[in-house]
């Protein structure tokens, strides 16, 4: 076959199919997804959906009829179990084969399991899929004391929703502060105080020793220091593992993600990999990185679609991300991890400010809280130049408008 097959009907897979048609590709196009639903947005699962403000239809990225109209053959609820590279075909769990001229792997990631004693009973909730969200919504309705393990984006978004629903929430984190890998100290301190104002408690540098149960289910979380936190619902948000096994078993190069070059091609020229499952060279991080964001999934999809339609270009999109926690919207432009200097502009007390991050005097990006215009401008600035320095920002009084030109 000379057609294109996409494995994974998530954000990246669907966008590839849509962009291919937009780019004028009119060949055979097959999108294979393991989940029992049309492609949907994950971000609202830990936000509006859990609060009951959006229903399942509202989560759909595109309705089924739209896929049909574009001539996208969507195979729903089907897992690809093997890639036959020599035969240029993928095999589904039921034995069906789909031949490809080019294969796009967009298999995403899955939750990192919690491996402490008591967790094997399967009562610890996780959140990745619509199915997880349905189950969590039910459990939330019936619980009073919630322990969230992990103070990353998803854990904190969940904590904010649960607090808003009137639940008592305790967040347990192994690191010294919340969102430690992702945001600056000032930003983390601000979010901690917001969560505390909603009644949420935190334990940092806390190791979970066991999940405790009685005959009716979960009763608490035991920490290594001996404390037991009462809980009738325990949710773990301790990161994800990229879905690379399919690629690895087919002999593709893999290392914390399916390895791709700047064109998002794997070690097999007839196979691309994109989104949460792919480790790519990124000029903003200055090395190989695996990003977990809607921006990265969608922009990598567009890059691959353009190449397959005859317009090859390397992946150069400006990274951006957001996280909504209660009334506070965090937005990030650029990759600020590893910064050694930061400058805060605006008023922390008003909950509206931006933090400009630098490394060795070089501008990395901006974290904004409730300042969407700063995020938009910072993205424009980063798209125009990678070479701005602290001196450039000082010269204009950190005025992004001036720098955006
Ligand atoms: P996925 O969306 O995970 O899609 C991969 C799909 O492939 C899945 O449906 C999976 O079932 C399928 N699949 C896997 N293996 C196979 C196989 N062998 N055969 C067939 N199908 C297969 N990002 C942001 O930028 N902002 C946010 O606020 C934000 N909030 C989030 C909140 C939650 C609760 C979650 C879970 C994620 C959030 N993200 C957010 C991250 C964002 O959703 C992901 O980065 C994005 O979905 C990645 O898209 P993807 O297509 O690479 O992977």
Q: Is the CB of 106 under 6 A from ligand 1?
A: yes
- Ligand 1 near 7 CB (within 6 A): yes
Report whether residue 246 contacts ligand 1, using a CB cutoff of 6 Å. yes
Q: From the CB of 243, is ligand 1 less than 6 Å away?
A: yes
57: exposed, middle or buried (Cβ count in 10 Å: 0-12, 13-18, 19+): exposed
Is residue 354 lining ligand 1, measured as CB closer than 6 Å?
A: no
Domain(s) of CATH 3.50.50.60: residues in the chain:
4-110+240-308, 113-236
pLDDT tens digits, residue range 190-239?
Answer: 999 999 999 999 999 999 999 999 999 999 999 999 999 999 999 999 99
Task: Using the mean position of ligand 1's atoms as its centre, give its distance from the Cα of residue 276 in Å.
Answer: 7
CA of 77 to the centre of ligand 1 (A): 15
How much distance in Å is there from the Cα of 293 to the middle of ligand 1? 8
Return the best residue to mutate from 5, 6, 7, 11 for the ligand 1 pocket (most ligand atoms within 8 A of CB).
Answer: 11
Pocket test for ligand 1, best of 276, 295, 321, 334 (most atoms within 8 A of CB): 276
Question: Using CA positions, which residue lies closest to atom 41 of ligand 1?
Answer: 293
By the 8 A CB rule, do 15 and 8 touch? no
ipTM, two decimals, is 0.99
Q: What is the pLDDT of residue 122?
A: 86
Please give the CATH superfamily to which domain 113-236 belongs.
Answer: FAD/NAD(P)-binding domain (3.50.50.60)
Q: Is the CB of 108 under 6 A from ligand 1?
A: yes
Look at strands 328-334 and 217-223 and give their pairing: unpaired
Question: Measured from the CB, is residue 299 less than 6 Å from ligand 1?
Answer: no
In short, whether 129's Cβ falls inside 6 Å of ligand 1 is no
Q: Is 14 in the pocket of ligand 1 (CB under 6 A)?
A: no
Ligand 1 in reach of 10 Cβ (< 6 A): yes
Nearest atom of ligand 1 to the alpha carbon of 278: 52
Where exactly does CATH 3.30.390.30 map onto the chain?
A: 327-404
From CA 171, how far away is CA 97, in angstroms rounded? 46
Per-residue pLDDT tens digits for 113-169:
999 999 998 899 999 999 999 999 999 999 999 999 999 999 999 999 999 999 999
46 Cβ inside 6 Å of ligand 1: yes
12 lines ligand 1 (CB under 6 A): yes
Minimum CA distance residue for ligand 1 atom 30:
43
pLDDT one digit per residue (tens) for the chain, 405 residues: 689 999 999 999 999 999 999 999 999 999 999 999 999 999 999 999 999 999 999 999 999 999 999 999 999 999 999 999 999 999 999 999 999 999 999 999 999 999 999 999 889 999 999 999 999 999 999 999 999 999 999 999 999 999 999 999 999 999 999 999 899 999 999 999 999 999 999 999 999 999 999 999 999 999 999 999 999 999 999 999 999 999 999 999 999 999 999 999 999 999 999 999 999 999 999 999 999 999 999 999 999 999 999 999 999 999 999 999 999 999 999 999 999 999 999 999 999 999 999 999 999 999 999 999 999 999 999 999 989 999 999 999 999 999 998
Please say whether the structural domain 4-110+240-308 has been given the CATH code 1.20.58.1610: no
22 touches ligand 1 (CB under 6 Å): no
pLDDT of residue 1: 67
CA of 158 to the centre of ligand 1 (A): 17
Distance CA 186, CA 79 (A): 44
Q: What is the CATH number of domain 327-404?
A: 3.30.390.30
Do the beta carbons of residue 186 and residue 339 sit within 8 Å? no
């Amino acid at each position: 076959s000379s057609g294109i097959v996409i494995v994974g009907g998530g954000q990246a897979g669907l966008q590839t199919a849509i962009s291919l048609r937009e780019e004028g590709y009119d060949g055979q196009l097959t999108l294979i997804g393991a989940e029992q639903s049309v492609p949907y947005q994950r971000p609202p699962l830990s936000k509006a959906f859990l609060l009951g403000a959006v229903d399942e239809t509202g989560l759909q990225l595109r309705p089924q009829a739209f896929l049909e109209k574009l001539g996208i053959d969507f195979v729903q609820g089907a897992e690809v179990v093997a890639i036959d590279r020599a035969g240029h075909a993928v095999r589904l769990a039921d034995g069906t084969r789909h031949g490809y001229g080019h294969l796009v792997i967009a298999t995403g990631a899955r939750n990192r399991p919690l491996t402490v004693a008591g967790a094997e009973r399967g009562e610890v909730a996780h959140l990745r899929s619509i199915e997880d969200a349905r189950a969590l919504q039910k459990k939330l309705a019936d619980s009073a004391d919630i322990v969230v393990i992990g103070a990353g984006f998803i854990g904190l978004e969940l904590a904010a929703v649960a607090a808003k629903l009137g639940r008592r929430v305790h967040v347990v984190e192994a690191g010294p502060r919340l969102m430690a890998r992702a945001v600056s100290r000032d930003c983390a301190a601000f979010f901690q105080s917001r969560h505390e104002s909603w009644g949420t408690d935190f334990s940092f540098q806390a190791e979970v020793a066991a999940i405790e149960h009685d005959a009716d289910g979960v009763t608490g979380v035991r920490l290594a220091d001996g404390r037991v936190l009462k809980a009738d619902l325990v949710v773990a948000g301790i990161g994800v593992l990229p879905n690379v096994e399919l690629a690895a078993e087919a002999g593709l190069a893999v290392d914390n993600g399916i390895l791709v070059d700047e064109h998002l091609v794997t070690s097999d020229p007839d196979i691309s990999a994109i989104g949460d499952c792919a480790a790519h060279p990124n000029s903003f991080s200055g090395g190989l990185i695996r990003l977990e964001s809607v921006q990265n999934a969608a922009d990598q999809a567009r890059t691959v679609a353009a190449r397959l339609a005859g317009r090859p270009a390397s992946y150069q999109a400006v990274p951006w991300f957001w996280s909504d926690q209660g009334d506070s919207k965090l937005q990030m432009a650029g990759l600020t991890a590893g910064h050694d200097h930061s400058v805060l502009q605006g008023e922390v007390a008003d909950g509206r400010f931006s933090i400009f991050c630098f490394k060795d005097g070089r501008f990395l990006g901006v974290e904004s809280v409730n300042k969407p215009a700063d995020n938009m401008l910072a993205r424009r600035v980063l798209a125009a130049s990678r070479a701005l320095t602290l001196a450039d920002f000082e010269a204009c009084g950190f005025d992004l408008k001036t720098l955006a030109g």
